[in-house]
Each structure stands twice: as C-alpha cells, then as structure tokens.
Amino acid sequence: MNTGKKRTRHTRLLRQDRLQRAFVAVAQAVSQTLDLQKLLDIALAKVLEVMDLDKGVIYLIDAEASQIVLKAHTGVSEEFVGAMGRMKVVEADIERWQEQREPAFGLERMVDQTTLAEVRGIIERGGVQSFVGTSLWSKEMLRGVMVLGSLSKRRFSPDELDLLDAMGNQIAVAIENAELFEQTRARAEELKASEAKYQRLVEDINDGYMVVRGNQVLFANKRVAEFLGTPLAEIIGGSFLQHLTPDSREKARQIYERTRRAEPPPEIEEFTLQRENGSSVPLEVRFKEITYEGERAYSMLLRDITERKQAEERWRLLSAAIDNSVDGIAMGNPEGMITYVNEAFARMFGYSKEELIGKEISFIYPEDEMPKLE
C-alpha cells in the first residue's frame, strides 16, 4: 500500500475513532440524571466539549404557547438571554412540523425574519464567527433545537454534522424520558396518598421500573416484562435474582447484603438480564430507597443500554486495531503535546510509549521540520 493510501486510511480510522468516542461520551453524559435542567446543562456542556465549540443554547418547544423557550445556555451574553429567552414561532401548527420531520429543522424555520435578524445581530456582537445547529427529535416529535457557535471561522465536515444530528437524537430521547419522569413524579406527589395510583403512573415512562424488598419483586411495570419477555404475573412476587446472568446475580447479592446491613445501595449499577429465550440485555439500574406499603423498600429504574454497549465495543475494536497496526500512529492536542502513540510509532523513534506520551511534538521532530506538521 502506498504512503498516500496509508495516510488516508489512518486519517479515516482516527476520525471514526474520535466520532465514536464523542458519541459514547454524550450518551453516557445524558444518562447521568433524570432531572431535566441538569440533563440539558450536562448535555450542552458535553456537546460543546466534543465538538470543540465555544457557545451554545438549547431551546425547547412550548406547543401550548406557540413559543420556543431557552432552557440551557453556555457562553452567551445576558443581552441574548434577556432578549431571546422566549420567541414566538412563525406557525402555531406544530403538529404539522412533526408530520414533515426534517433533521435540519432550525431556528430559521421557527421564528420570523425580524426576530431572526435580531438573533444574528446579538450573536455577531458576541464574537461568534461560525455556528451550527440541529433539531431535537424523539418518536417523530420535534422537541426543540440546539445551536452551537465558535469564536473562530470554521467549516463543519459532513461527519461532524452527522455526529451532531446523532447526538441531538440522543439528547431528545433523554429529554423525553426526563419529561415523562418529571410528569410522573409531579403527578405522583399530587396522588401520594394512593400508592396504587403511583403504580399506574410509572407505566407511562419508557424505562423499566421495579420495587423490591430484600430479593422479592413487589411491583414491576410493563416495560420490565418487555425486557424479560416474561408475563408480569410471573415477575411480581418472585425473585429478582432469577432474572440475572450469573455475574450480575453475584453483584446483586452483594448489594442485597449491603441493604440488610442498612447500608445504602450504589446510586447506579449495571446488570445483565437473562431473557426467557436465552438472550440477554444490558441495563443501567438506578436505586432509591422508598417507603412502599408502609415499609422500607427500594425502587429500581432500569434503562436498556444495548446501543451504548455496542458503541463502546466498536470503539474498543477500533482502538485495538490502531494499537496493533504495523504503521506508526500518533495523536496530539492543539497545544502540541503527544497524547497517544501506538507501539509501532514508539519503535520507529526508539522510545517506549510511556516516554513519548506527554512530550511536546518537537521532542521527536527537529525544529526545522515542525512547519510541515502544521
């Protein structure tokens, strides 16, 4: 293979690696909380980080008021927040937008030209040279838009735009779950005199929900039955452990022993459920101590993380391919520091990987060769 083709292949591998890691990072970030405001703040910060951008905003749609509402922002001026906190949409018929789903649906389609000109004016006064956005879709519903900006001139590659759309979809699904969870919790507070009513509410959320005491399942919603491929009647009253793979079963036993000693369980843990048909599903489980039917119990919120695990595995395989490549591969940061080298690269220069990582690029390249690397 000639040098040009090798370089192209390496560039493609590195780009795929960066995009895959960015996607996984955002997926992990948005799974940290079901609090909507925290979720939006975390999501915006992580997207700005992985896209290497300076400013950003997230607007959500208030369909009843026919407005878009600023819900999260980073790096924008007080002038922007004050003037653009709420904007009237051009069309009140938001349902028609849902029917005409378009991935690139942005602010320019939502607000009138006068408002859009005002937005652009404030953005320019804030020093933004380039900006990009994506719409937030979940279950064929437009939930909002995310707009990001850079203080320098920048072109966004097709891969970056695809990544932004994928991250937007991840965020939209997380927003949906958080909104449903908040609605469930708010409604549950109004009806907390009746635990039976609360049980009906948790059927509305996309995640699995269980209540356990000791090892016994006291309540489970229909999503749990879907995870397991087992009728609810066979789950409620039975052992939670029997639905786990052996490794997860041992982990659950250790958590159970902690609760018996009145020690709190971990806030988040990962388990693998074993379905009746022999297949398995990886889950992220959030524990919370509650009072159920007058006694202490634990609620468990179960989220399917199959896609995240698959993405992590693809990244692991890609990393292994780079590590074991016969060609030398190195990565650096904008400050000129070496952040990664594979074994082949280290051998090329007669150093160990540990000796190179953290060094300036000038450590291995003569000063007169440095301009060629820029």
Does residue 13 lie within any of the structural domains? no
Dist CA 113 CA 90 (whole Å): 9
Q: Does the pTM of the predicted model rise above 0.85?
A: no
| Total residues found in the chain within this entry | 374
Contact by Cβ (8 Å): 165, 106? no
- 147 and 257 housed in the same domain: no
User: Domain limits at 250?
Assistant: 205-304
Q: How many domains does the chain have?
A: 3
Whole-number Å distance between alpha carbons of 348 and 350: 6
Local confidence band at 190 (pLDDT 50, 70, 90 cut-offs): low
Strands (DSSP E) along 183-294, which ranges? 208-213, 216-220, 268-274, 280-292
Instruction: Determine the pLDDT at residue 316.
Output: 78
* Cα-based angle 14, 20, 21 (whole degrees, multiple of 5): 90
| 11 lies in some domain | no
> Do 88 and 26 have their domain in common?
yes
Q: Are residues 167 and 108 in the same domain?
A: yes
Per the CB < 8 A criterion, the answer to whether 10 and 2 are in contact is no
Residue 368: the pLDDT is 57
- Strand 330-332 with 295-304, pairing: unpaired
pLDDT tens-digit series, residues 242-263 = 889 988 889 889 988 888 888 8
pLDDT of res. 100: 45
- Cβ neighbors of 230 (< 8 A, separation 6 or more) are 243, 275, 276
Lowest mean pLDDT among 144-158, 219-233, 301-315: 301-315
Asked if residue 309 belongs to a domain, the reply is no
Provide the 8-state DSSP code for 207.
S
Residue 279's pLDDT band, with cuts at 50, 70 and 90, is: confident
Amino acid of residue 275: R
CATH number at residue 215: 3.30.450.20
Confidence of residue 14 (pLDDT cuts 50, 70, 90): low
Distance between CA 126 and CA 198 in Å, rounded?
Answer: 47
Per-residue model confidence (pLDDT) at position 56? 92
Average pLDDT score, the chain:
80
What letter would DSSP give residue 294? T
**Could you tell me whether strands 280-292 and 86-88 are parallel, antiparallel, or unpaired per DSSP bridges?**
unpaired
Q: Give the pLDDT score at 91.
A: 59
Q: What is the DSSP letter of 236?
A: T
| Strand positions, DSSP E, 319-358 | 330-332, 338-341
Is 3 a residue whose pLDDT tops 70? no
Of 16-20, 42-46, 82-86, 234-238, the least confident: 16-20
Residues 288 and 342 grouped into a single domain: no
Shared domain for 33 and 92, answered yes or no, is: yes
